[in-house]
Amino acid sequence: QVQLVESGGGLVQAGGSLRLSCAASGRTFSMYTMGWFRQAPGKEREFVAAIAWSGGTTYTDSVKGRFTISRENAKNTVYLQMNSLKPEDTAVYYCARRGGVYSSNDYMNSGKYDSWGQGTQVTVSS
């Protein structure tokens, strides 16, 4: 099973930016869709963004135009660039690998992801 390690979280003022990174182990990284999810206190985990093995991207509506997901297969790393951050973006952010090589659907369903990182805290102050 792949290991995923997130980094880059922290405390930022509203309107600021952060870039999250997720480093994956193994040699098949490029074959998998990768996703970012987040969980705020007292709320369920929610989908944020995904990037397919093909490079196609999907975002939840609340982050469109502010967040950008990207991947660097040579480094086994997926990124989440977060701009114009809002207090409601405060959450623990998790990186995850979509189960099944060359998957091309159902990116928003957390149950379809087979590996998860430990999470990184993002706090946006008003």
> Tokens 């967040």 — which residue?
67
pLDDT for res 27: 87
83 backbone dihedrals φ, ψ, rounded to 5°: -115, 165
Tell me the C-alpha distance between 60 and 5, whole Å.
22
pLDDT digits over 69-120, tens only? Answer: 999 999 999 999 999 999 999 999 999 999 888 887 889 999 999 999 999 9
At 110, the amino acid letter reads: S
Quote the mean pLDDT of the chain.
Answer: 96
**Is pLDDT above 80 for 24?**
yes
32 backbone dihedrals φ, ψ, rounded to 5°: -115, 145
pLDDT for res 101: 85
Contact 122, 17 (CB under 8 A): no
Tell me the C-alpha distance between 80 and 92, whole Å.
13
Q: How confident is the model at residue 26 (pLDDT cuts 50, 70, 90)?
A: confident
